[in-house]
Structure 1
Amino acid sequence: MEADWSNSRQRTRWGGPIRAKRTYCRATKTYKYRHSSQQVISCSRVVAQYATTSKHSPPLKMSLAVRDETSGRGGVPVDHGQSARKIISPCFTMDTGRESLHDFINRLYGEEVYKQVRRFEVLRKKKAHQVSSLIFLLRCRDNNVIPKFLRAKRHFNTAASHRIYNRLERALLRERIHETRRELAKLDSELLSVHLLISQKMNNWDWERVDRIIYNTMSSEMKKSTERQKRKFEQCDTNTKPRPILDVNKTVVNISSHQLSDHEESILAKGGNFAVTPRNVPVEEIIANIEAGIRNLPQDSAEEIRRDCSKILQHARPPKSNIPYTERRALKDLRNNKDIIILPADKGNATTVLNTVDYHQKVQDLLKPENYKMLKRDPTASILRKTNDLIKNSSIPEELQKKIKVSEALSPRLYGLPKIHKPDVPLRPIVSAIGSPTYNLAKHLTRLLQPHVGQSVTFIKDSSHFIEKLKLINVRDTDILVSFDVVSLFTKVPVTDALLKIDRIFPRDISTLFRHVLTTTYFQYNNVFYEQKDGVAMGSPLSPVIANSYMEEFEEVAIRNSPLKPTHWYRYVDDTFVVWSHGQEKLLEFLNHLNSIHPQIQFTMEKEENGQLAFLDVLVKRREDGSLGHTVYRKPTHTDRYLHKMSNHHPKQKRAVLRCLSQRASRICEPQSLKNEESHLHQAFQANGYSFQEVTRALRPRKGTGVPPTEEPKQGVAIMPFIRGVTDRIGRLLQRHEVRAIFKPTHQVRNLLRSAKDPRDKLSSAGVYKIPCSCGSVYIGTTKRSIKTRLKEHEGHCRRVQPEKSAVAEHAYNNLEHNIKYDDAEVLSTDRNYHARLQREAIEIHKHRNNFNRKEETMRIRNIWHPALKRKLIGPTADNERVGVDQSERSGHIAEPRRPINIGTLVNRSSVAPESSPSTPLRRSTRRH
C-alpha cells in the first residue's frame, strides 16, 4: 500500500479544494480515500473514469460503493469485462424524495450535516429571490419607473412639491438597489462558509449530487421569481405611454453599397454630435486648464482650489460607458472602412453614408473649369506673407495687429454636404478656412462691416424679426404669397460689384484688406489646389456679410427699376418673402426682371399652397380676416434628432437644447398652434431619450422679461472636458471662487469617423511635443507654431553645433554617440491656450522622469498635484528637483526667459563648420580655449 496526501478539486458551484488521504492498493488496483466521517470510498480507475466522463450515463443515478472501514474489504475489485454500471451500487437518484434524501444523509453523515444541507438550500433560494429583485429594481431605474412600494403619498399638489417627491422616490429606489446588493454580498459570504463546511464532511460524489439537486431547485425558484417580477414591472408601467422612437430610415440615409449592421445603424442614428464617454480620465488636461483658469486668483484661494481638486482627481474614475461594446466596435469598423464616407446631410440633421468613389465623383462634378482653376503649387506661404504685410501697413492699431497676424497657416480644405432632398443627391461645397492665412483677418473685417449691413427696411434679422413684420401685414384674396430664392448665392456673388460699396464706406488701406480676403479663394481637395474664379467661399466668416451687403444693393436696384412693385418685400440673405398684388402673369414678368439684372444672380420662385407658404422656419398661413398667422415649419427631410439624453454632455447643455426649442415655439407659434407644437416637442424629446418630466419642465412657461441676466465678470475661465462625477464637481468648486467653468464634450461620433477633408499632418499643429533620444531619455517642448517647424529648428541647432540654442543640441553635443530621433517625435497635447500649454509642458516634464530638459527653462508643476499624477509617471523615479524651479518663485506663474549657456570654455565657435549633414552625428571641434 502506498499513501500520499493530495488536494481533490470538487466540481461544485463553489469549487473549494477538499483535503483527503489517498491510499492505493496494488492488488485490487483501487484508490481509497479517508474522510473525517470515517467512511472509505473505493473505486477502480476504470470506474472513476467512466463515472466522470461517460456521456450516456444518466446524471445523479450513480454512486460509489460505500463500506464501513470495519467491514473487512475496503473496496470492490474490478472486472474489466463487466459493465461499470453493474459494479456501482445505487445510492440516491434525482427522483429520490425528500425523506429518502434525509435518510441517506442521516445514515452516512448524521443529522448535523443534513441541517447544514438544508441551510445551504434555503440560502440559495434567498439568493435567487434577491437576484431577480435586483434585476427588477435596475430595470425600473433605467426606465424611470418607480415601483409601487416606493411611491410616496403626495399630500401637496404644487410643482415644487412634486419635484421634491420625485427626488425622494428616485433616492429611495437607489437606496433599495444598494441594500439589495449588500444583502447579496452577505448571502454570498454565508453560502461560501456553509459550502466549505459541508464539502469537508461529505465525499466528492455525494456532495456533487446534493449540490446539483439544490442548484436545480434554486433555478426553478429563480424562474418563478423572474416571471413574477416581470408582471410587477408591467403593472408599474401601465400608466406610462410607450416611448416614441426616431425613424432610423430618416436619421440614417444609406445610399452606398455597404449594408449597415444593426449596431452601425444604432450608433449613427444617435447623431454626429453624440459624445461617447471616455475610457480614461484626462488628468493632465484637467490640471493644466485649472491652473490656467486660477492664475489671477489670490494665493490662498488658488491653493484651496488646488487642494480640493487634487483630492477629486486622486479618486477619479472614468464614467460608465454610455454605449455598449458592440457599438464601440461598430464605430471602429466604420472608421476603418475605406469604401464608404459618412457625412451630415445639408439639411435636416440626418447622417448620410456614401460610397467613397461616388463622393469624389460628385466633388469633381462641382470643380468645373469654368468656375474653378487648378493651381500648380500650394500658395499658402506667399499668401501668408502678403497678408501680414498688408496688416502691418494698414491703419489697424498695433495691439490689434498682433492678434490678427499669424506666424503659420494651413491651406483651406474643401468638402461637400449631400443634399438628400434633391434628385441624384448633389453636394453643397463647403470650404473649411479655420487656420488659413486670411481667417483671423476675415473675422476682424466682419466686425467692421456688420454695422453697415441690415439698415434697409427690407432686412430680416431672424425669425422673431420676421414675425414682427407679419403682424403689420394684411392681404386681400387676390394677393399672392411668394418666395424668391437665389441659386447658389455665395459662389455667384460678383466680388467686383460687392467691393464698390466697400470702397465707399472704408478708407483705401482697409478696402485693400477686404479686396485681399475676398480674392483669396484658393483651397485644397484631394492634395490638389484650386482657386475659385468668382464669388465668395462658403466657410469664410466674411462671406455671409458680404453677400448680405451685395443683396441690399441688388434689391434696391431691382425694385426701383421694376414697373410693377411688390406690396411687401422682405429678405434674409438669399431668401425673400413677397406679397404680390398684380396677378399671376405679371408675377412671371417680375421674376424675369429679377433674373435679367445680373447674369450670375438667378432666382427661383415658390408660391403659396392652400394658403400657406414657408419662409425660414416659419409657416405663414392666411386668415379669414386678411391677417397672416404663423407657426413652426419643418422641412420634409427634418429628422427631429437633437442632442441625445445619453450623450456625454454637461446637463446644462442638454437643458439648453430643450429650452431653446421651447422658446422658439413660444416665439413663433400663435396661441392656437402652440399646443400642437408643444405636443410635437414632447414626442421628439422623448424619442431622444429625455423623460416626460424633463420635457414638461422645459416647456413650462417662464417668468421674467426675457432679458438675460447680466453676469458679474469672472476672474478666470477654465475649459475642461466633461467627465461626469469629476469635472462637474471641479466646476462647482471653481464657481465658488468666481472662476467660470466651460465644459466641452469628449469623443464626439463625427470626430471618431473618417473625415471627408484632406488629412492634416499631426505635427502641423501647435502644442506640447516629445523628442526621444537613442539613450532612452526624452525632451519635452512646447510651441505656438507648428511642431514640425520647431523640430526643424532643433535639428538645425544640432547641425550647426549651437548647444546654447536648445537643450536638444546641448544633449547631442555632450553625448556624441547618441542619436536624436526626430522621426519618432510625438504630439502630447494640442492646447492653443498659452497658459494651459505651459502648464501641460510642466506636467509632461514631471511625468517623463527620464527627460533632459534644462532646469532653468521650464516650469515645475506644484507638489499638490503629484498624487493625482502618480499613475501617469513614465521612466525611472527621479528626484523632485531634477528639472524646473517652483512656480511660486516666478511672477504670474509664467516661465522665465531662456538664459543662454556660455560655451566659450567648451568650443571655439569660429572653428566649427557652419553646416553639416543632418544624417551625421554632431562632432566636437578639436580646437579649444
Structure 2
Amino acid sequence: VLKENPFDEILTKVIQLLNRLSGKKLILQWQSKKMMPNRTKSVLAHLYFNPKTHKIGIPVRPIENTIGAPTTNISDFLDEIIRLIFDSKCGSTSIIDGASLLKELYKYTKKGLFKVSTLFCTFDIRNLYTMLPQEEALDILIEFLQVHGYTKVKGISLDTIRILASIVLRENVCVYNNKIYKQTLGGAMGSSFALTLANIFMWKWQKEFVRRQDISGEFYGRYIDDIFMTWNKSENELRNLLDTANSWHPNIKLEYKVSKSLPFLDVLLTNSNGILLTSVYHKPAAEPYVVPFSSDHPRHVFNNVVQTSLARAVRYCSTLEAFNHEQRYIQLALLYNGYPSTFIDREFQKFFFGYISSTSFLPIIDDEKQFLKMHRKLLDQPTLSQSQAAFSAAMADIDNDQTDETVNESKESKNYNDKPKQHCNDKLIIHYTH
C-alpha cells in the first residue's frame, strides 16, 4: 500500500524514458509516438475481481483495468512485436484451442502411441501471472530472444527491449477500495504484455517436461498456464514426476489430475480401451447461457451463435451419439435464451445443408460414416484462433531489422491515408430490437 499517489511521477518517468530512447536513436520516432501515453487521458489502473464460479468455494481472479495506465501503450507495443515471435517459435508445444488439441492427438494416435494403458494428465500453474519474479522474467525474456537468434526486434536492441519491459513490470500501480497499491511480484492480469511474458517464462520452465516427452514420443501441449500431456508408464512414476516438478521453482506450483478421462479447455477426452473418444465439455457450474435473442445485437450475431455451436459440436464429437447429445444441449440452450424454434430449425438446416447431399430430403445426420466424414472435414478446417495464430507466426520476422525511419513513417501514413473517409451524412442507420 502506498501513502501517496505516484501517478504524476510514473507518467513523467514514462514520457522521459521514451524521449530519451528516441533522442539516442534507440527507438524510432514512430515507435516512440506509438508507446507515448496521452497526458490528458491517462489514469491509474483499478483493480477488480472476477469470480471463478466453476471452482469449489468460488475463488476470485484479480484483474487490473490498465486501459488508461501510463505504461499501457508500451505494454501493447511489446506484446505486438514479441508475441509474433513466440507464436512462430513455440507452435509445437502451444495449444491454440480445443480443435488444435484434437488435431495433435489424432497425429499421436496415428503413430500407434495411443494404447489401452495411455493416461491423460492435466495441470495448471497456480496464480502464474502474479507469481512471476520480475527480474527473472526479464532475464528469461532476453534469453528467449537470444536463443532464437534475435539481436534486435523491429530494429530495437535487446537491452532497450529489457528497459521497456522493465518499466511495464515495475511501474504497475492500481487503485482498490480507495487505496493505492504497487505490484512488486508478477505482472498485471489485464496487461497485454503480461500474457506474453508468462508464456515465455513457461517456455523456460517446461523444458524438462518437453525433453522427457519428446524422448518417449508422448504428447505435451500448453495453453498459457494449463498443460495437457499423455503418459504410458506407471501412474506412480507420473505422480512422482509432477511432485518433483513442484520443486523446480519456488514460485511455480502446479495442481494436477491424472485419469483416463479428463476435460481440457472445452473438450472432454476419454481413453475407452485404447480408443480415443472426444466430446464437448461443459463445466458443471456453467449455466446454458448464450446471447439472448431479445438482446439488441445485429441479426447476424444470433445466426453465428447457432452456426459456431454446431461447428464446435461436429469438430469435438468423435461419435454420432456424442454429437446428437450435444445437438440436443444446443437446442435446449437456445430455447432457454429465447430463440424461436422456427429460427433454430432454419439455422440447423442451413448448417447441415452445407455438408449433406442436396438429394437428402431432411438435413439430418443419422449415419455414423456420414458424420465421421463431416467431423474430419470440419476438423481439418482452421478455426479463427488457428488462422490468427498462423498469421501471427508468419508475420514474426517481416521487417524485423527495419531501421529506416522514413519507410516506417511512410507505411503508417499510407495506411492512414488509404482508409476511406467516413461521412455519417451519407449513411442510413437502422436500429431495431427483437
Q: TM-score with structure 1 length normalisation?
A: 0.35
SS of structure 1 residue aligned to 2:62: strand
Of the three residues 402, 408, 427, the one matched with 2:60 is 427
SS of structure 2 residue aligned to 1:442: helix
Post-superposition offset of 1:617: 0.5
Query: Is 2:39 the partner of 1:407?
Result: yes
Change (3 A) 1:658 1:404: farther
Q: How many residues align?
A: 348
Q: Which runs of 5+ in 2 are unaligned?
A: 146-151, 356-377, 385-417
Of the three residues 121, 132, 139, the one matched with 1:493 is 132
Which residue does the alignment assign to 2:374?
A: none
Q: Distance in 1 between matches of 2:424 and 2:329?
A: 35
Q: Which runs of 5+ in 1 are unaligned?
A: 1-373, 721-726, 733-742, 746-929
Of the three residues 305, 314, 335, the one matched with 1:666 is 314
> 2:213·2:220 contact (CA, 8 Å) conserved in 1?
no
Post-superposition offset of 1:665: 2.0
Post-superposition offset of 1:565: 6.3
Residue 471 of structure 1 aligns to which amino acid in structure 2? Y
Post-superposition offset of 1:378: 1.4
Of the three residues 465, 468, 472, the one matched with 2:103 is 468
> 1:419·1:428 contact (CA, 8 Å) conserved in 2?
yes
Which residue does the alignment assign to 1:823?
A: none
Q: Distance in 1 between matches of 2:424 and 2:137?
A: 39
Post-superposition offset of 1:459: 1.4
Query: Is 2:169 the partner of 1:518?
Result: yes
Residue 378 of structure 1 aligns to which amino acid in structure 2? N
Change (3 A) 1:664 1:717: farther
RCO greater where, 1 or 2, for CA within 8 Å and sep 6 or more? 2
Q: Distance in 2 between matches of 1:572 and 1:491?
A: 17
Per-residue CA deviation, residues 581-623 of structure 1 (Å, 9 max, x unaligned), is 2212212210122111101101111122xx4210110111224
Post-superposition offset of 1:719: 9.4
Q: Which moved more, 1:593-602 or 1:424-433?
A: 424-433
Residue 65 of structure 2 aligns to which amino acid in structure 1? S
> 2:65·2:190 contact (CA, 8 Å) conserved in 1?
yes
Q: TM-score with structure 2 length normalisation?
A: 0.73
> 2:116·2:275 contact (CA, 8 Å) conserved in 1?
no
> 2:95·2:221 contact (CA, 8 Å) conserved in 1?
yes
Of the three residues 684, 690, 697, the one matched with 2:346 is 697
Which structure 2 residues correspond to residues 731-742 of structure 1 after superposition, within 5 A?
731=429
Which residue does the alignment assign to 2:428?
A: 730
Which residue does the alignment assign to 1:715?
A: 420
Which residue does the alignment assign to 1:637?
A: 285
Q: Which has the larger radius of gyration?
A: 1
Query: Is 2:243 the partner of 1:615?
Result: no
Which structure 2 residues correspond to residues 368-383 of structure 1 after superposition, within 5 A?
374-383=1-10
Query: Is 2:82 the partner of 1:417?
Result: no
> 1:438·1:517 contact (CA, 8 Å) conserved in 2?
yes
Q: Distance in 1 between matches of 2:56 and 2:230?
A: 30
Per-residue CA deviation, residues 480-511 of structure 1 (Å, 9 max, x unaligned), is 21111111111112222221233243421222
Post-superposition offset of 1:668: 2.1
Q: Distance in 1 between matches of 2:257 and 2:117?
A: 17
Per-residue CA deviation, residues 432-483 of structure 1 (Å, 9 max, x unaligned), is 1111111122111101111221423221122221111111223222232111
Q: Distance in 2 between matches of 1:531 and 1:494?
A: 15
> 2:50·2:62 contact (CA, 8 Å) conserved in 1?
yes
Change (3 A) 1:675 1:424: closer
Q: Distance in 1 between matches of 2:339 and 2:160?
A: 54
Of the three residues 142, 155, 160, the one matched with 1:509 is 160
Query: Is 2:93 the partner of 1:458?
Result: yes
Q: Distance in 1 between matches of 2:221 and 2:214?
A: 19
Which structure 2 residues correspond to residues 218-367 of structure 1 after superposition, within 5 A?
none
Residue 715 of structure 1 aligns to which amino acid in structure 2? P
Post-superposition offset of 1:425: 3.2
Residue 425 of structure 1 aligns to which amino acid in structure 2? I
Change (3 A) 1:666 1:478: closer
Which residue does the alignment assign to 1:223?
A: none
> 1:558·1:597 contact (CA, 8 Å) conserved in 2?
no
SS of structure 1 residue aligned to 2:75: helix
Change (3 A) 1:674 1:459: same
Residue 469 of structure 1 aligns to which amino acid in structure 2? E
Q: Distance in 1 between matches of 2:424 and 2:303?
A: 19
Which residue does the alignment assign to 1:23?
A: none
Query: Is 2:169 the partner of 1:534?
Result: no
SS of structure 2 residue aligned to 1:473: helix
Which residue does the alignment assign to 1:448?
A: 81
Which structure 2 residues correspond to residues 138-177 of structure 1 after superposition, within 5 A?
none
Change (3 A) 1:622 1:649: same
RMSD: 3.0
Residue 651 of structure 1 aligns to which amino acid in structure 2? R
Q: Distance in 1 between matches of 2:424 and 2:336?
A: 31
Post-superposition offset of 1:428: 1.5
